[in-house]
A and B are shown apart, each in its own frame.
Chain A
Amino acid sequence: MDKQTQQRYDRMYPRPQGHTALPPGTAAPDFKLRSTPDQLVQLSDFRGQPVVLAFYPADWSPVCGDQMALYNEILPEFQNLGAGVLGISVDGAWCHAAFARDRKLHFPLLADFEPKGEVAKNYGVYRKGEGVSERALFVIDAEGNIHWSYVSPIGVNPGAAGILSALEDLQNKEKEKMEEKKEEVAK
C-alpha cells in the first residue's frame, strides 16, 4: 500500500484493538446472512467441507479490494482443497452486489448489516468505535469448528499463504482419519 492510503487508514481506524477473536477449537457460531438482495447463505449449509471466512472492514477500500481480488484468483486452489470461501463485512447487500460486479468476484460476500456487525461480534472481531470488523481470517473445519484464525493489522492484506497451510493441514488430518478407519476395518 502506498503511504497516502496508509495514512487514510490510520485516520479512519486509529486505535490498535485488543484481539478477542475466537481461538481454534471453538465451535464456529452459525449465521444466516444475505449475500445478494435475494439470496441468503447459512454457515451450517457448508457442514462437511471446510470454509474460509474472511472478515474485512469495507467494500471499495483499497486493501480490501486487493484482498478479495486475490482470493478471487486463488479460488481454484481453495476449491482443490475442498473449501468454500465467504467474504464478510458490514456493507449492505446492494453495496456488495455492486462491488462484486465491479471486481468480478466469483464467491459470495455476506452482508453483516442488520443487526449491524452481529456476526463479527460473535466471532470477536468487531471494532466498536469504528463500526467495522477487523481484517480477520477463520478457517472452519468440516464439523463446523474453528481450525485456524488470524487477525491482520487492518490496513495490511494478509494474503493467502496462511489459509492454504490451514486447509492443507485439515486435508492431511482427514487422510489420517481415513487411514485409521481403514485399519480398524481391516482388524
Chain B
Amino acid sequence: MRTFEENFEPAALAVPVSKRDHIQGPYDASLTLVEYGDYECPVCGAAYPQVKAVQSVMGDRLRFVFRNFPLANIHPHAEHAAEAAEAAGEQGRYWEMHDVLYENQDALEDEDIAKYALDLGLDARRLIREVETGAHRDRIREDFRSGIRSGVNGTPTFFVNGLRHNGPWDAESLVASLVEGAVAPA
C-alpha cells in the first residue's frame, strides 16, 4: 500500500520543453515557467495577470511556456479557444491570441474568436476553418496527455524549472520559487 506521505515524489514535467512548445522569452533562458491551462477556466484567468507580472520582473532570465489542458466538459468553449490560439500560432501570432482570449474569457463564442482574428489582422476565414475542423486537436491532446503524465490535476498547474509548483501562484510566490530553484538546482 502506497500512501501519499510515504511515497511523495515531487511531480516533474514528463515532456521537457522543446522547440515544439510555444515559448515567450529566450529559448536558452536559465529559468523556465510552464503553465498547463484552460482558456475558459476562471482560475487560469486570475493567474493570467500574475504570470505577466512574473515575466516583467524576471525579464530575459525567464522563458514562459503555455500548454493546453482544456477541461472541455465543464468549459464548453475551452477546446475551440485552444484551437484558436494554435491556429493563430500557425499564422505567427500565438501569444497575441493567447492574451486576447484570457482578456475576454466571457466572450469565447466562435463569432468572438473570428472578431479577435480580424482585430489581430489574421486570415480569419482560415483560422475559423481550422477551429471548426479541429485542425490542431492532436496537438492539444498531446499537451493534455503530457499534463496528465506530469501530475497536472487541475488548472492552472505550474511547473517551475521542471518541477510542479504546489504552492500559491501569485506573482510573488512564483518569482520566489523560480529564484530559489536557480540558487539550488534540483
A residues in contact (CB < 8 Å) with B: 2-3, 19, 21, 23-24, 66-67, 69-70, 72-74, 77, 103-106, 149-153, 156-161, 164
Contacts and interface: CB of A to CB of B under 8 A. Distances in A.
B1 A159 contact: no
B50 to A, nearest CB: 13
Contacts, number: 62
Contacts of B144: 73
Nearest to A70: B153
Contact of B71 (A70, A106, A151, A164): A70
B176 interface: no
Nearest to A66: B154
Contacts of B72: 73
Interface residues of B, number: 21
Given A70-B154, A73-B71, A73-B144, A161 B149 contact: yes
Interface in B141-164: 144-145, 148-154
11 contacts: A2-B168, A69-B73, A69-B74, A69-B154, A104-B73, A150-B2, A152-B4, A153-B4, A156-B4, A159-B152, A161-B148
Interface string B54-71: 000000000000000011
A158 B73 contact: no
Contact of B148 (A21, A74, A103, A106): A74
Interchain residue pairs A-B with the least CB separation, the first 6? A159-B153, A157-B153, A104-B73, A66-B154, A23-B1, A152-B4
Contacts of B168: 2-3
Contacts of A23: 1
A152 B148 CA distance: 17
Contacts of B153: 66-67, 70, 157-160
B4 A161 contact: no
B3 interface: yes
B73 A161 contact: no
B1 A105 contact: no
Given A21-B1, A150-B2, A151-B4, A164 B74 contact: no
B11 interface: yes
Interface in B2-36: 2-5, 11
B71 A158 contact: no
Contacts of B74: 69, 103-104
